[in-house]
Amino acid sequence: MRGRIVLIAGNSNRPLALQVCSHLGIESCEALVGRFSDGEVRVEIGENVRGKDAYVLQSTCPPVNENLMELLVIMDALKRASARRVTCVVPYYGYGRQDQKDKPRVALTAKMVADLLVVAGASRVITVDLHADQIQGFFNIPVDHLYGTEVLLSDLKVRLQGNEVIVAPDAGGVERARTFAERLGAFLAILDYRRAEAGPYAQIVGDVRGRRVVILDDMVDTGQTLIRAAEGAVAAGAASVEACAVHALLSGDAVERIESSALQSLTVTDTVPRDEKAARCEKIRTVSVASMLAEVIRRVHYEESVSSLFTRT
């Protein structure tokens, strides 16, 4: 594979990019990814990429606009340097939460970003746990939609106690939680949360009394959804409560909220790098998607099946 494939790391998640390179047995492509004095993104590819299979690894996580622009400029530089194919590897796809026109006069940013990536030169997109599956349809190029929950599942399997209940924190996460529970042989419960005149109402639908509750979500941003589900599980008599989420955005004072919450632990992946505050939090655990991304890149490069990697048995 060496010499025929290059991987360029943006500044958003260099540790993950270096781990992926290590699994592939290659060095990260030499490139300058910086800024001009006025703040414009400056990119210079430092080695010959003509005719090569180029992969750009960049999470469009906060600062979202900076990281997105870096990704676009890197791809443009590769395209103009005559790379044979440019594949955009986006472990976390930013702007994905605006994926439908659910009210008048709102933007479809998930579609807008898809258009930007294609115009900038992407031949293919590899991403992890999109906020909604239909975002794949916004692209006119192939999209490999990977499941970070596979990594979380593997981690939880080695820590099974036999009395788990998987909780979906909202209606949108029911299918994800159901699949997770089925593969673990665990029970399923759902948080019913609604805002009423008398105040917010939260109740777990399902039996969690005396059981180990695992709340599953695709991302944790402010942490309020997970904490609400944890409080509902404790009120329903759960023996213990922990959470799993693929993308750890942890905005604002989310870390402090988690630290003081009923959650015993929060397991996340490294699609989004942890800041110093999150790294110091003893409740937050991280498992890596690096080996999964490396294997998918290898399969794409050699034109092998990617879907077979996620065939559920």
pLDDT digits 0-9 by tens, 47-88: 999 999 999 999 999 999 999 999 999 999 999 999 999 999
Lookup result for tokens 């924190």: 169
CA angle 296, 121, 83 (to 5 degrees): 70
For residue 304, say whether it is annotated as part of any ligand binding site: no
- What was the pLDDT predicted at 194? 73
pLDDT at 313: 47
158 and 33 in a common domain:
no
- 13 and 141 inside one domain: yes
Q: Provide the 3-class DSSP secondary structure of residue 24.
A: helix
Q: How many Cα atoms are found within 13 Å in the side-chain-facing hemisphere of 274?
A: 21
Report the alpha-carbon distance of residue 259 to residue 267 in Å, rounded.
Answer: 13
- Report the C-alpha gap between 166 and 110 in whole angstroms: 29
- Regarding whether 296 and 248 lie in a shared domain, the answer is no
| Entry pTM | 0.93
- For residues 19 and 135, state if they share a domain: yes
pLDDT of residue 143: 97
| 40 labeled binding residue | yes
**pLDDT of amino acid 9:** 96
Is 225 annotated to bind a ligand? Reply is yes
140 and 10 co-located in one domain: yes
Q: Determine if residue 222 is labeled as part of a ligand binding site.
A: yes
Judge whether 223 is annotated as a binding position: yes
Write out the E strands in the chain: 5-9, 31-35, 41-45, 53-57, 85-90, 124-128, 143-146, 164-168, 187-196, 199-205, 212-220, 240-248, 266-269, 284-287
Q: Which two structure tokens, joined as six digits, stand for 126?
A: 């590899």
To the question of whether residue 221 is assigned a binding role by annotation, the answer is yes
The number of beta carbons lying within 10 Å of the beta carbon of residue 191 is: 25
310 CB-near residues (< 8 Å, 6+ apart): 146, 147, 150
Task: Tell me which residue range forms the domain holding 17.
Answer: 5-147+290-310
Question: How many folded domains does the chain comprise?
Answer: 2
Residue 131 assigned ligand-binding role: yes
298 and 275 in one domain? Answer: no
Q: Is 218 annotated as a binding residue?
A: no
**Residues 142, 172: one domain?**
no
Same domain, 169 and 129: no
The Cα 144–Cα 195 span in angstroms is 37
Integer Cα distance of 254 and 21 in angstroms = 31
Residuewise pLDDT in 10s, the chain (313 residues) = 556 899 999 999 999 999 999 999 999 999 999 999 999 999 999 999 999 999 999 999 999 999 999 999 999 999 999 999 999 999 999 999 999 888 899 999 999 999 999 999 999 999 999 998 999 999 999 999 999 999 999 999 999 999 999 999 988 889 999 999 999 999 999 998 776 665 566 789 999 999 999 999 999 999 999 999 999 999 999 999 999 999 999 999 999 999 999 999 999 999 999 999 999 999 999 999 999 999 999 999 999 999 988 865 4
Question: Are residue 113 and residue 26 in the same domain, yes or no?
Answer: yes
pLDDT score, position 170: 87
- Whether residues 41 and 76 share a domain: the answer is yes
Q: Are residues 119 and 190 in the same domain?
A: no
CATH number of 269's domain: 3.40.50.2020
Taking the CA atoms of the chain, what radius of gyration do you get in angstroms? Answer: 20
Identify which of 297, 298, 296 has the alpha carbon closest to the alpha carbon of residue 307: 296
Helices 64-80, 109-120: inter-axial angle, 10-degree rounding: 30
The answer to whether 64 and 116 have CB atoms below 8 angstroms apart is no
Judgement on whether residues 20 and 112 belong to the same structural domain of the protein:
yes
